[in-house]
């Protein structure tokens, strides 16, 4: 069953008179429970593809289908609703809200989804425990290490029980040990929850965890991916 499908997606950025085809007729299907990596050199279109998959942007042409629905036709607010309920994000720069504690950062998507306080607390504590940060729940991002912050971001991405988690260079700002720890946690949560994970990365360490590697070059998919054994 597909978590997301892209069909013949084209994305063009226009800066002044110059047009850049960031994605040039890309088609891809990611099934539920997949642990997939998008690889390719800088400018190959990895981040653009993640943004289109995450309904953060709209393609110039083509369709992006989530839950049998073409999300390119949705309004800005409808896309926000879809992201809130169905999609989790992990960013290279951790992207925690600096004024909120680890607990509150994980709680935020649940608040936006209107989850009741009791269920919210149980879910947040469970997620923080699963990323090994229950004792650090009351710490703010500036009191956490980079690795800890990224683990909070992983917990936050999974909080609304999404269909799909999109991670853009999730280990780029982490050292080897923390990077490996983050990947192991994501791999474990992928297996436990069945949530599909899609990573964009340059990092061979991340690629080594993936069960499927999709290669991009100049805005096109040059290899649709093969199922690897994973770490």
Partner 1 sequence: MFKMIKIAWRNMWRNWRRTAIALIAIVLGLILLVFMDGLYGGYDEAIFANAVRLYGGNLQIHAPGYRARANRLPLLPVQEADQVVGTVMERPEVLLASKRIKTAGMIKAGGEIYPLTITGIQPSVEAPISLIAENIIAGRFLQDGDEDMMLIGQGLADELGVSAGDRVTLAGKRKNDTIRQRTMTIAGIYNLGLKDAEKAMVFISLAEAGSLFNLRNQTTEVTVSLQEVGMEDTLIGELQSDLAGYEVDSWLTLNPEFSQIIDLGQTFSAVLGLFVVMIACIGILNLMMMAVFERTREMGVLAALGMKGRQVMGIFLLEGTMIGVVGAALGCTLGWLAMLAFNLAGGYDISSFTDAGEIYALIGDAFYATIDPVSIIQQGLIIVMMAGLASLIPAWQASRKEPADALHHI
Please give the residue ranges that form the binding site for partner 1 (CB under 8 A): 51, 54, 56-57, 76-77, 80-85, 89, 91, 93, 95, 97-100, 104, 108-109, 111-113, 156, 160
CA pair distance 185, 128, nearest whole angstrom: 11
Which CB sits closer to partner 1, 139 or 205? Answer: 139
CB–CB of 33/198 below 8 Å? no
What angle (nearest 5°) sits at the alpha carbon of residue 196, between those of residues 195 and 198? Answer: 140
- Least distance to partner 1, CB of residue 108, Å: 6
Which CB sits closer to partner 1, 165 or 180? Answer: 165
Closest CA to 108 of 169, 153, 163, 50: 153
- Residue at token pair 């369709």: 63
CB–CB of 155/127 below 8 Å? yes
CB–CB of 23/10 below 8 Å? yes
> For 22, phi and psi rounded to 5 degrees?
-70, -35
- Least distance to partner 1, CB of residue 191, Å: 24
Which CB sits closer to partner 1, 57 or 218? Answer: 57
Q: What count of Cα atoms within 13 Å lies in the side-chain half-sphere of residue 26?
A: 36
- Least distance to partner 1, CB of residue 204, Å: 25
- Least distance to partner 1, CB of residue 146, Å: 16
Which CB sits closer to partner 1, 28 or 165? Answer: 165
- Least distance to partner 1, CB of residue 192, Å: 22
Task: Give DSSP secondary structure letters for 201-213.
Answer: E--HHHHHH-SEE
- Least distance to partner 1, CB of residue 99, Å: 4
Which CB sits closer to partner 1, 93 or 145? Answer: 93
Which CB sits closer to partner 1, 104 or 218? Answer: 104
- Least distance to partner 1, CB of residue 59, Å: 11
Which CB sits closer to partner 1, 24 or 104? Answer: 104
What tokens appear for 112 in the block? 């936006």
Cα–Cα separations (whole angstroms), residue 220 to 27, 44, 46: 9, 8, 10
């Amino acid at each position: 069953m597909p978590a997301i499908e892209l069909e013949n997606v084209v994305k063009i950025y226009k800066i002044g008179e110059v047009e850049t085809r960031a994605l040039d007729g890309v088609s891809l299907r990611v099934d539920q429970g997949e642990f997939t990596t998008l690889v390719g050199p800088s400018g190959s279109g990895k981040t653009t593809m993640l943004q289109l998959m995450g309904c953060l942007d709209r393609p110039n042409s083509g369709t992006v289908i989530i839950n049998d629905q073409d999300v390119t036709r949705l309004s800005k607010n409808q896309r926000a609703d879809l992201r809130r309920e169905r999609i989790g994000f992990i960013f290279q720069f951790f992207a925690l809200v600096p004024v909120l504690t680890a607990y509150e950062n994980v709680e935020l998507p649940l608040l936006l989804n209107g989850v009741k306080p009791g269920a919210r607390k149980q879910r947040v504590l469970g997620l923080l425990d699963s990323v090994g940060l229950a004792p650090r729940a009351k710490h703010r991002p500036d009191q956490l290490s980079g690795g800890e912050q990224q683990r909070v971001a992983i917990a936050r991405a999974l909080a609304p029980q999404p269909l799909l988690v999109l991670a853009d260079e999730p280990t780029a700002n982490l050292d080897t040990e923390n990077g490996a720890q983050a990947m192991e946690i994501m791999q474990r949560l992928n297996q436990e929850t069945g949530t599909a994970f899609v990573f964009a990365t340059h990092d061979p360490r991340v690629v080594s965890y993936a069960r499927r590697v999709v290669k991009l070059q100049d805005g096109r998919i040059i290899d649709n991916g093969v199922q690897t054994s994973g770490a």
